[in-house]
Amino acid sequence: MLDEDVKTQARSHTKCASCPVRHRAVCARANSDELTLLDSVKFYKTYQAGQTIALRGDPLEVLSSVVSGTATLSQSMEDGRTQIVGLLLPSDFIGRPGRDTVAHDVTAVTEVTLCCFRRKPFENLLVNMPHVQVRLLEMTLDDLDAARDWMLLLGRKTAREKIASFLLLIAHRSVANAEKTLANEVRIELPLSRETMATYLGLTIETVSRQFTALRKDGLISLDGTRSVFVPDVAALAAEVGDGE
Amino acid sequence: MLDEDVKTQARSHTKCASCPVRHRAVCARANSDELTLLDSVKFYKTYQAGQTIALRGDPLEVLSSVVSGTATLSQSMEDGRTQIVGLLLPSDFIGRPGRDTVAHDVTAVTEVTLCCFRRKPFENLLVNMPHVQVRLLEMTLDDLDAARDWMLLLGRKTAREKIASFLLLIAHRSVANAEKTLANEVRIELPLSRETMATYLGLTIETVSRQFTALRKDGLISLDGTRSVFVPDVAALAAEVGDGE
DNA sequence: CGACCGCTTTGACAGAGGTCAAATGAGGTT
DNA sequence: AACCTCATTTGACCTCTGTCAAAGCGGTCG
């Protein structure tokens, strides 16, 4: 994990106190003692858009939290078919204490900054950081719920429902810091290209594009450029996802 | 969770020492102190095939391990479309410490016996059972990996690949107790009906049935009745799943 | 033994989404 | 402004899987 090509990386330290994900990441409920421990061993690392962060099967030497940017977890078949199995947005955790191999490919889709910990020291510190331990289990359970929700999407939803679900997912996650409820109209900045969305939604790029066009023609969204989506009526879009919420 | 309709249930105690899942379940690495704790609070509960064990949104009052039988975790949409998001086989854990609501519908597909713990007492004991705590995180991570593997199957695999993957999954899980490697030929007893398989694989029952027929015509499997599958050449079937393993 | 019931298989057909190919558009660069 | 590149959109067509319907099969129960 985390190759050593220094040309494309940057390292630096930032005080946890001023960290943008301080209250949502694995350290969310750490007390000041725990925070001091973490602060002493962490280091930052930045990856450029498109860069591979880790490959399945690599020795797992570094665990990290996403501080800024977007990355994906993906799984591929021999013939190249690929499915994104997780979106990594700021505050998400990468890697598993207790595992010694990377389970899925990790790729930066925008410039990504990670707050990294070497695995062994982190595991050793963990016994002295009960709040971090609990938070880690909690985040893992959240990831599991998210994965299972996505299974319903992949197995049963139509292309239109998939796109609507995705737009609302991004809308929710991007306001997660601020208010928890969505306004009646929202502007969404998509962190993913059409192709990456397709890989996440179990579709092809053409189908994604056609569904964007269809939603636009139906007045459910309007586009400003290709990455900026305006939703004039969130409830109307939510009615397209098919399930209760 | 765990409704109180006594007509369809049975309760009893069994010593952990003689438990068939003692070395694979959440108690796998419990020491004798921890085991004594668990033993003192656990109780067994049996559900009939087809019975609902818990529904999404129910208050989560009981956590449990599957001792025998097969159950499913599933998620449904308003219009009835349903996706099974997890198979629960012996040794699997149901429920999440720290959550107060059931996240997915749980249904018995065969007669199922659970080893149950009331949630609050279990959570309190957990701080005194570090080995159980670690095992729980480990099992949750395994579940997460399994869910993500399934996302690849649901999003990208063809019907034939899905069936082949499923057969090999069941083959592996049913010998998990004994040897870890699969012989070159295997007999598989399916715990699921065609319909339940379809719900798990993101297919319809007709497609599942057609793929069984196709695999049989291609000599990759033979059927004895409808639930017993003989695989004469495991490697040949494995070549049909599409991915590395 | 024969009727019945639920599960499974098979058939005919339709449609959603994939494939292949070309056109359009949006950013950069010179 | 003209050009280049790459992402996106659109079009035409095809195929896999879903839908609807009927037939087959295996138990069970009178």
Query: From first to last of its 245 residues, what are the pLDDT tens digits of chain B?
Result: 444 443 344 445 678 888 999 999 999 999 999 999 888 899 999 999 999 999 999 999 999 999 999 999 999 999 999 999 999 999 999 999 989 999 999 999 999 999 999 999 999 998 888 889 889 999 999 999 999 999 999 999 999 999 999 999 999 988 765 566 778 999 999 999 999 999 999 999 999 999 999 999 999 999 999 999 999 999 999 999 987 65
> Given an 8 Å threshold on Cβ–Cβ distance, is A78 in contact with B242?
yes
For residue range A143-193, list pLDDT tens digits in order.
999 999 999 999 999 999 999 999 999 999 887 655 667 789 999 999 999
Whether A104 and chain B come into contact, CB under 8 Å, resolves to yes
Report whether pLDDT(A125) > 70. Answer: yes
Q: Average pLDDT in the A217-223 region? A: 95
Is the CB of B203 less than 7 A from some atom of nucleic acid strand D?
yes
> Which residue is closest, via its CA, to the C1' of C9?
B209
Is the CB of A202 less than 7 A from some atom of nucleic acid strand C?
yes
> Given an 8 Å threshold on Cβ–Cβ distance, is A75 in contact with B149?
yes
- Mapped onto helix, strand or coil, the DSSP state of residue B137 is helix
C-alpha to C-alpha distance for A219 and A216, rounded to whole angstroms: 5
DSSP string, chain A: -----GGG-------GGG-TTTTTSTTTT--HHHHHHHHHH-EEEEE-TT-EEE-TTSB--EEEEEEES-EEEEEE-TTS-EEEEEEE-TT-EES-TT--B--SEEEESS-EEEEEEEHHHHHHHHTT-HHHHHHHHHHHHHHHHHHHHHHHHHHH--HHHHHHHHHHHHHHHHHSSS-SS--SSEEEE-SS-HHHHHHHHTS-HHHHHHHHHHHHHTTS-EEETTTEEEES-HHHHHTTS-S--
C-alpha to C-alpha distance for B205 and B211, rounded to whole angstroms: 10
Greatest pairwise CA separation for chain B in angstroms: 56
> Which of A78, A96, A141 lies at the smallest CB-CB distance from B99?
A141
Q: Average pLDDT in the A134-151 region? A: 94
Sheet holding A43-47, edge to edge: A43-47, A112-118, A62-68, A93-94
C-alpha to C-alpha distance for B40 and A102, rounded to whole angstroms: 39
Q: Give pLDDT, residue B13.
A: 61
What Å value separates CA A190 and C1' D11? 26
CA-wise closest residue to B70 among B190, B226, B239, B207: B190
Strand D nucleotides below 7 A of a protein CB? Answer: 7-12, 16-21, 26-27
In this prediction the pTM is: 0.92
Q: Give pLDDT, residue B5.
A: 42
Q: Give pLDDT, residue A3.
A: 43
C-alpha to C-alpha distance for B241 and B245, rounded to whole angstroms: 8
Report whether pLDDT(A8) > 70. Answer: no
Q: Give pLDDT, residue A243.
A: 73
Report whether pLDDT(A240) > 90. Answer: yes
Residues with Cβ within 8 Å of B69's Cβ and at least 6 positions away in sequence, in order, are: B47, B90, B108, B109, B110, B111, B112, B113
- Tell me the residue length of chain B: 245
Strand C nucleotides below 7 A of a protein CB? Answer: 7-12, 16-21, 26-27
Share of chain A above pLDDT 90, in %: 78
Q: Give pLDDT, residue B201.
A: 98
Residues with Cβ within 8 Å of B178's Cβ and at least 6 positions away in sequence, in order, are: none
Residue A225 near residue A145 (C-beta atoms within 8 A): no
C-alpha to C-alpha distance for A219 and A233, rounded to whole angstroms: 9
Is the CB of A189 less than 7 A from some atom of nucleic acid strand D?
no
User: A130: pLDDT confidence band, cut at 50, 70 and 90?
Assistant: confident
List CB contacts (< 8 A) between B134 and chain A.
Answer: 98
Q: Give pLDDT, residue A57.
A: 96
Closest-lying nucleotide for B192 based on CA to C1'? C7
CA-wise closest residue to A111 among A8, A18, A17: A8
Report whether pLDDT(A12) > 60. Answer: no
Sheet holding B43-47, edge to edge: B43-47, B112-118, B62-68, B93-94
What Å value separates CA B69 and C1' D25? 27
> Given an 8 Å threshold on Cβ–Cβ distance, is A156 in contact with B77?
yes
Contacts of residues B182-186 at CB distance under 8 Å and 24 or more positions apart, as own/partner, are B182/B234, B183/B234, B184/B233, B184/B234, B184/B235, B185/B230, B185/B231, B185/B232, B185/B233, B185/B234, B186/B230, B186/B231, B186/B234
The per-type count for chain B, helices as H runs and strands as E runs, is 7, 11
Report whether pLDDT(A7) > 50. Answer: no
Q: Which structure tokens are listed for B102?
A: 């059931």
> Given an 8 Å threshold on Cβ–Cβ distance, is A148 in contact with B202?
no
* Domains of chain B with bracketed CATH: 6-131 (2.60.120.10), 157-238 (1.10.10.10)
C-alpha to C-alpha distance for A150 and A7, rounded to whole angstroms: 36
Residue in A with minimal Cα distance to B155: A202
C-alpha to C-alpha distance for A202 and B154, rounded to whole angstroms: 8
| Residue of A78, A99, A105, A144 for testing the chain B interface, max B β-carbons within 10 Å | A144
Whether A201 and chain B come into contact, CB under 8 Å, resolves to yes
If you average pLDDT over every residue of chain A, what do you get? Answer: 90
